Structure 1
Amino acid sequence: MDVTAFRKLHQDRAPGDPLILPGPWDAASARAFAEAGFPALATPSAGIAASLGYEDGATPADEMFAAVARLVRSVADFGIPVSADLEAGYGLAPRELVARALDAGVVGVNLEDSGPSGLGDPERQADRLAEVRAAADGALFVNARVDTYVRGVPDLDETVRRALLYVEAGADSVYPILAPPEHLPELCSRIPVPLNAVSHPDGPSPRELGQLGVSRVTFGPGLLWRAMSAVKAVAEELR
């Protein structure tokens, strides 16, 4: 499936029927989700980091791109598109970042607007997203992550301000990670592109997120943690 078809998966979602994108952390988990019939996948950087033995945010770029490429190859025979969480871009220039993403075989990328020192300048991030979009020439679906909530700035208006800058720069969707459920309807009404929300066990279900206006649901590393709970249970049984 090409990027055009991937974009169409995000459009005109009925309330309560968001695009659900499981987050595989390696080739085996990707094939499991593909065999279950999901139309697309979205890798979580934290999940891949954990599978490679790194803390979240500490995976070297070469290892991240290699892991993503293996994952993409593992589902190639299913024709399933994969989007990759590339954190803040690993310090790569936009053209190189795009080239490496396309070489890995992905049709979409997540790019976040914060780093080790906290939230970044939104105008600078918008400029960077515009450069990424130009370098990709339409070949990548750009999901712009807004880190206000995860960075302790739970301001709805600031979240919308950043989101609109990123939309103007060409973002295909916006991801206000960890936005509280009560903020989602207004965020969806004020941001004119599909909204991505993260699902976690203590929050609304994917269907409930869709009823709040969300078009796309991802899981971060949550599915890996659930799998590891099962592995730990097996380990205890064997011990």
Structure 2
Amino acid sequence: MKKADVFEFYRRLAEDNPSPETELEWTNPYTLLVAVALSAQATDVGVNKATKRLFAEVDTPARMVALGEAGLKEHIKTIGLFNTKAKNVIALSEKLIAEYGGEVPHDRIALESLPGVGRKTANVVLNVAFGEETIAVDTHIFRVGNRTGLARGKDVRIVEDRLEKVTPQPFRQHAHHWLILHGRYTCKARRPECWRCIEIDLCAFRPKTPAPKDVAPVAAGGGERDHPLLSARPGTRSSAG
């Protein structure tokens, strides 16, 4: 995808959703860390259902350790791989207490040293809890990057590195959420809804999925709204960056 098209791709996502947020429910960096760790091979909806009561009772590593592995399993038993996840959450909570004073570290290496925490989870925590311009490549972002031509690669790290390289300011802060939401609700795995996609003319995917007979296609692009991300152009500065 050409540089100007990449900018336009993100501009449209920003226009459509100026303030994207994670769909996981959390109250502090610790509950975010736990929620993201639990979300592996599970839906955000499913995780939120399981953690609603959990996080009302447990919002610190000390309280999680006090709850114990068996108690945690009772809360998350509806989530896939809950046995392994419960073991990891208790272990990472113990390590946060022992090595980081019970606080979630604002450091990639430290985060990735926690049990059950990989690069993707660390990237989400760094982006959502600490405001870093990271892009956590999950299956949705991997698909969008490859399918559209925005950032192609054979594995998630290659796609992440290419997205880091091509994503311009002022879109870097929210790029992760725009791409994951686009993949989750429009650029779907089995049947992408090309007929209602605002990026249809920029996307390299062929053939485009046609609209159902009783639905009119949505026009690509669209007008700009009064939002600081949308007034910027390549080569200009934006206070929103």
Greater gyration radius: 2
Structure with larger RCO (C-alpha < 8 A, sep 6+): 1
Scaled by the length of structure 2, the TM-score of the pair is 0.29
Scaled by the length of structure 1, the TM-score of the pair is 0.29
